[in-house]
Structure 1
Amino acid sequence: MTDSLLIRHDDDGVCTLTLNRPNAYNALSLELMQELITALSSIKDDLSIRVVLIQGSGKGFCAGHDLKQMLGEGTEAYYQETFETCSAMMQEIQSLPVPVIAKVHGVATAAGCQLVATCDLAVSSSKSRFATPGVNIGLFCSTPMVAITRSVAPKHAMELLLTGDLINAERAESIGLINWQVDENELDSFANNLACKIASKSRKTLSIGKQAFYQQLNKPISEAYSQCSSIMTENMLIDDAQEGIDAFIAKRPPSWKHQ
């Protein structure tokens, strides 16, 4: 493992970003968040990347903000910069034109839980634990709340936010915080197979679909249908849709141009 705060590895359309602060449970220092933003931004126009996998090094996925660093700085301006940078990072994930998968082992707490909720998909070890424990130390998890309330039902979100209790992977799956929980020794293969499956699709189609999903999510149903009808019309006209339909009819594998 290198000394870099963030390790990037690209392989056949899959970009794996590893949070690399194992001695601090990959706590989101300001510098780590800035590196994540830079890495995600560089992927936007990289047509070789069709899916991003975010994971943590060491014993856990991510323990949230680096509270030692924040207390050490101790200024309002620094706190503001930290939370604004975190918010920018989460929005960068959602606006990325390719799907982002959280691969979780160990704990994902506070802003680490927010990161899981922000990713488009999430798979965890059956031994993983999740929490938004800020209320226990007098700091309500308000920014994690933004992502969590958009992933789970309101009462489930309030349960996490008001109690600060750890929940296990089975509970996290049942409330929709994660998609799958698998045996610890199957986590790597499951996440990699999932990433490769998505990476086999047309990047252009993935981009259109992800953007449309978040755009229509909170619209009234009539507006959502109107918007998505226009998007599907535009989608039908791209090269990859024409190729995909032709390949389906001809019973052959598609050859994507990613445009």
Structure 2
Amino acid sequence: MPSASAVAPTATLQEPVVRVDADGIATLTLARPASRNSLSDATMASFSGHLADIAGDATVRAVVLTAEGPVFSAGHDLKEIQAHRGDADRGRAYFEDVLKRCAALMTDIVRLPQPVIAAVEGMATAAGCQLVASCDLAVAGGSARFCTPGVNIGLFCHTPMVALSRAVLPKHALEMLLLGEWVEADDAYRMGLVNRVVPEGESLAAATALARHIAARSQVPVKLGKAAFYQQAEMTLDEAYVFASDVMTANMLARDADEGISAVLAKRPPLWEDR
């Protein structure tokens, strides 16, 4: 099986999102560059199916999300959206459904037990930017650009706003949403939308390196920690400390916490069993 750090699968494969596993890392590739890797109905269905499979796959310890071609993702498929303008309800039922499915996809990323790392080359716009903001970590190639351009076409990026406002400071989020201007990779790093900026073309290798780093750890604290991070963020300060203390107590009682502390005291490498 090819290494997850190899060149991503080509778009000749029929599935809109292609999965390749290696060394405990599942690499998901948006593989429809001809459609600018838009989040079409088929792409979202494929993506959601892979996430459901990965969630229950104990062999997967981290996930890398990448894309074929010069555009990471242009967001929703505008042709599919416009095709429903002629519906009897002017598209209302379809619009509600597609936004509901997109929200579920973004939520699935956040709730996936394994960390998800985006490797972004080229443009990530609208729901494509939302996708990056929904991932736990993100690495951008030097020429990557980000935008929530809805305001430019009479359509505020309301749903991308949800993920964006949780990833960056409010004024940065509103700047992107209200101006609809391009944000270069270095500014995306400054805003906190991405964790690292690497030379153009190297985001997949860099993201995979981060995934390998995470995959080498016990999965008990990784999975507990990711879930707890998002849960405590919605709580008051007092609630968050009570909740975090309960989770950390459970973590301390895990076999791997005992092993990790014992390894530190004995000055030896730990032997993880993921329990």
Deviation at 1:13, TM superposition (A): 1.0
SS in 2 for 1:52: strand
Q: Deviations over 1:106-152 (max 9, x none)?
A: 00000000001010000000110000001111111000000000011
CA RMSD of aligned residues (A): 1.1
SS at match of 1:207: helix
CA distance in 2: counterparts of 1:138 and 1:174, whole angstroms: 28
**Who is 1:12 aligned against?**
23
Offset of residue 191 of structure 1 = 1.5
Counterpart check, 1:59 vs 2:70: yes
**Given the two structures, how large is their TM-score scaled by the length of structure 2?**
0.91
2:215 pairs with one of 171, 190, 199? 199
> In the alignment, which of 79, 94, 100 is matched to residue 95 of structure 2?
79
Aligned partner (choices 35, 38, 41) of residue 24 of structure 1: 35
CA distance in 2, matches of 1:148, 1:183: 24
1:172 is aligned, of 166, 188, 197, to 188
CA drift at 1:154: 0.9
Counting only pairs closer than 5 Å after superposition, residues 46-195 of structure 1 correspond to structure 2 as 46-74=57-85, 75-195=91-211
Q: Which amino acid aligns with 1:124?
A: A
* Aligned-residue offset at 1:4: 1.4
Q: CA deviation at 1:218?
A: 2.8
Q: CA deviation at 1:153?
A: 1.0
Q: Distance in 2 between matches of 1:37 and 1:8?
A: 12
Structure 1, gaps ≥5 residues long? none
Q: Secondary structure at the match of 2:119?
A: strand
CA distance in 1: counterparts of 2:207 and 2:194, whole angstroms: 13
**Is this contact kept in 2: 1:8–1:15, CA < 8 A?**
yes
In the alignment of these two chains, the number of paired residues is 259
- Decide whether the 8 Å contact of 2:119 with 2:140 is kept in 1: yes
Query: Conserved in 2, the CA contact under 8 Å of 1:122 and 1:180?
Result: yes
> How far did residue 238 of structure 1 move?
1.0
- 1:73 is displaced (CA, Å) by 2.9
Counterpart check, 1:256 vs 2:269 = no
Q: Please give the per-residue CA displacement for 1:77-119, whole angstroms capped at 9, x wherever unaligned.
A: 1111110000000000011111111110000000000001010
Asked whether 1:223 is paired with 2:234, we answer no
The Cα offsets for residues 170-228 of structure 1, whole Å up to 9 and x where unpaired, read as 11000111111111143232122111101111122111000110111132212111111
Judge conservation of contact 1:47–1:258 (CA < 8 Å) in 2: no
Please tell me the residue identity of whatever aligns with 1:204: V
Contact 1:145/1:157 (8 A) holds in 2: yes
Deviates more, 1:142-151 or 1:233-242: 233-242
Greater shift, 114-123 or 72-81, is seen at 72-81
Asked if the contact 2:15–2:46 (Cα under 8 Å) also holds between the matched residues in 1, the reply is: no
What SS does the corresponding residue of 2:204 show, helix, strand or coil? helix
> Which letter does structure 2 place at the counterpart of 1:123?
V
Rounded to whole Å, the distance in 1 between the matches of 2:273 and 2:247 is 19
Distance 2:15 2:206 in 1: 26
Change in 2 beyond 3 A, CA 1:180/1:213? same
Whole-Å separation in 1 of the counterparts to 2:42 and 2:145: 25
| Aligned-pair CA distance for 1:258 | 1.5
Take 1:5 and 1:222, find their aligned partners in 2: how far apart are those partners? 44
SS at match of 1:150: helix
The 1-side partners of 2:234 and 2:95 are apart by 30
Equivalent position SS for 1:190: helix
Cross-structure match for 2:4: none
Identity, in percent, stands at 48
- Segment drifting more, 104-113 vs 41-50: 41-50
